[in-house]
Amino acid sequence: MNTRTVRLAGYGIGLILALALPRILYPVLALDILLWGLFAISVDLLLGFVGLLSFGHAMFWGLGGYAAGYLTKSIALDYPFAALVGAGAAVLLAVPTGYLAIRSTGIYFAMVTLAFAQMVFYVVNEARPITGGENGLQGISRTFLGSAIQDATAFYYAALPLILFGYWLAYRIVHSPFGHVLVAIRDNEARAQALGYPTGRYKLLAFVLSAFLSGLAGGLYSLGHGFAALELVHWSTSGTAVVMTILGGIGTLWGSILGAAIFLLLRDWLSTFTDAWGVVTGTIFIVIVLGFRRGIWGTLLHSLHRRRGSAGEITTLTEPAITTVDGAEPRPREGEEGAPVSPATRA
């Protein structure tokens, strides 16, 4: 069985599971898993494929939620358009913030995005006539063609096409020539610049696309719950998405959905027994991270790779190969035997 067949079979199983999920769990939790999974995928798009850790993605998730909620509450805009407008609002915010943030790297990039997120948190908290401040935006309706969607299961299936569109878009980004260049930038930005790629533009576009996915997920989240709380733009929300990405496996894309499912299911189950569920889940996460260095999904793929003994298969399943950018043969990464030394390293 070749890789393409395995991949198609996996997508088929995933689609069947998505359709059956509200029958297995209660619909609100099922919707949360898919939406937090999309949010974590947007974080992984930057962290796993560009090498940029963002602690400010809650501003896009929250802005999408508030924008979608405000439009449906004020002018009764249909939920698909409200969610897309929320994603568009996140894009408008991402352009200036990303333009400034990508000028830094590493921990400095993380701190700059966190600073922007805290500014957005302050603005949302102070704009009480629009956002409701600490009370949040309540009474958000969800309508389509003039009809209200009251049932949680019905809204789950109504939102599912938009969620799958977000997953498909993330997949296309990663497996396109654009995505291959992003991986090249992640591995060695100086070398990518030497090849003629405007790395700043690529990173900015990746930042904006990641914000679009976050805003889309946030818009659907507020519509699904019927309110937009101040917690949507809190810095801890960004940290939760990063934890989900690490749990599933950085750079695996689909591992983010698995990380979101594990996090939310553990939180939902443990909260019925204790108010200190965060302590228990934190301990479990430490054990998982120590036991699965590549994340759960990444470790599973690596084990399958070793069992099959196929040298190139793991790359095709987890991240785009750099070699397809220009059709050249694989080049060893910097630090490996036979790898060229970049100007930055030489200096």
pLDDT of the chain along its 347 residues, tens only? 567 777 788 888 888 998 999 888 889 999 999 999 999 999 999 999 999 999 999 999 999 999 999 999 888 889 999 999 999 999 999 999 999 999 988 899 999 999 999 999 999 999 888 888 888 888 888 888 878 888 889 999 999 999 999 999 999 999 999 999 999 999 999 999 999 999 999 999 999 999 999 999 999 999 999 888 888 999 889 999 999 999 888 888 888 999 999 999 988 888 777 777 777 777 878 887 787 778 888 778 777 777 766 444 444 344 443 333 333 334 444 444 444 444 344 33
Structural domains in the chain plus CATH codes: 18-329 (1.10.3470)
**How distant, in Å, are the alpha carbons of 27, 35, 326, 343 from that of 191?**
48, 36, 14, 8
CA distance 242 to 256: 9
Cβ-Cβ contacts under 8 Å for 100 (sequence gap 6 or more): 112, 116
| The pLDDT value given to residue 309 | 65
CA angle, 37 as apex, 280 and 101 as ends, to 5°? 100
- 304 φ/ψ sector (left φ>0, alpha ψ -120 to 50, else beta): alpha
| The pLDDT value given to residue 14 | 87
| The pLDDT value given to residue 223 | 93
| The pLDDT value given to residue 2 | 67
| The pLDDT value given to residue 75 | 87
HSE at residue 214, side-chain half, CA atoms within 13 A, is 34
Q: What is the dihedral of CA 58, 42, 292, 231, to 10 degrees?
A: 20
| The pLDDT value given to residue 93 | 95
